[in-house]
Every structure is written in structure tokens, then in C-alpha cells.
């Protein structure tokens, strides 16, 4: 990956809907060269996918919770079972297996506190092998970026 690829990736992270013509003008390359570079980056898996980022406040998902989970045991069976179950929970957008006092951190989006309580009571606490949970609620967003610095 050369400096032009890095510039191209930076531009695509800012706006992936830019046309190859718009990108070619910014990179001083031909449209074909930009197209070929993008295809190469996709083939190599550097560009994994293209998505639309939604405004969570406009789709009733403005309440964000970080839920720390501690399992009762750390056997491969318990970890695997928990991970399979949490993947199916639509409210959980991200799940991280972490070190420290807890085993997992879940990033959950719901409408409000009442919806989170409902999620906890009817879904999360029904999962097997959970020993304890600790929830932290977002007060405000200080920085949010999905773009990597290249």
C-alpha cells in the first residue's frame, strides 16, 4: 500500500459515495487508475464493506449503554455459548471479549431507559452463564469517528 492508496482510503472513509471521477481529480490520477486501485483494495480485504451510517436519534436508538458482563466460568464451552447467544441480540451492536474485571463489554442501543430495562429482563439476563452485569450509560458523545488515521 503506497501513499496514493492511503490518500484514497482517507477520501473513501470521509465519503464512500464519491465517484471515481471526483476521486481522480483529488488524487491527480485517471478514473481508470482510481477504479483499479479501489478494486485491488477490495480484493485484498483492506476495504471490507461499504455501509450507510444512520442518525440514531432519528430511528429511536438514542440511548447507548455499555454493559460489562462477567461469566460464571471461563471454559471454552461457556465462552462459545455466550458469544453465539449475544450475536443474535439485535440491540447489541458490538461485543468485545476483554481482559480485566469483566469478560465482555457490549455496546447496546435502545430507545430509552425503559427499553433497556425490558432488554435486560427479557433477553440479556436469560442468557446462560452470566454471573453479573454492570451497565454504564452514555451522557454525551465527545468524539466519534469510524475512520482510521493512515
pLDDT band for 44, please (50, 70, 90 cuts).
very high
Backbone angles phi, psi at 71, to 5 degrees: -85, 160
What is the pTM (predicted TM-score) of this model? 0.87
Are 116 and 62 a contacting pair, CB within 8 Å? Answer: no
pLDDT score of 128 more than 90: no
Distance CA(144)–CA(147), nearest Å, equals 9
Distance of CA 137 to the CA centre of its chain: 17
- pLDDT tens digits, 69-125: 999 998 899 999 999 999 999 999 999 999 999 999 999 999 999 999 999 999 999
What value does the mean pLDDT of the chain take? 96
Buried/exposed 13-41: b ≥16 CB within 10 Å, e otherwise: eeeeeeebeebbeebebeeebbeebbeeb
What cell does 148 get? Answer: 482510521
Amino acid at each position: 500500500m503506497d501513499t496514493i492508496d492511503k490518500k484514497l482510503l482517507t477520501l473513501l472513509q470521509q465519503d464512500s459515495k464519491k465517484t471515481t471521477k471526483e476521486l481522480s481529480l483529488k488524487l491527480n490520477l485517471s478514473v481508470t487508475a482510481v477504479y483499479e486501485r479501489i478494486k485491488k483494495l477490495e480484493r485484498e480485504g483492506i476495504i471490507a464493506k461499504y455501509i450507510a451510517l444512520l442518525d440514531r436519534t432519528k430511528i429511536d436508538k438514542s440511548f447507548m449503554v455499555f454493559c460489562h458482563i462477567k461469566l460464571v466460568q471461563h471454559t471454552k464451552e461457556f465462552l462459545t455459548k455466550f458469544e453465539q447467544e449475544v450475536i443474535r441480540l439485535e440491540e447489541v451492536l458490538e461485543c468485545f471479549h476483554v481482559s480485566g474485571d469483566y469478560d465482555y463489554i457490549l455496546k447496546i442501543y435502545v430507545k430509552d431507559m425503559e427499553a433497556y430495562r425490558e432488554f435486560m429482563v427479557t433477553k440479556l439476563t436469560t442468557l446462560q452463564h452470566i454471573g453479573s452485569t454492570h451497565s454504564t450509560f452514555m451522557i454525551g458523545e465527545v468524539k466519534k469517528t469510524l475512520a482510521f488515521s493512515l
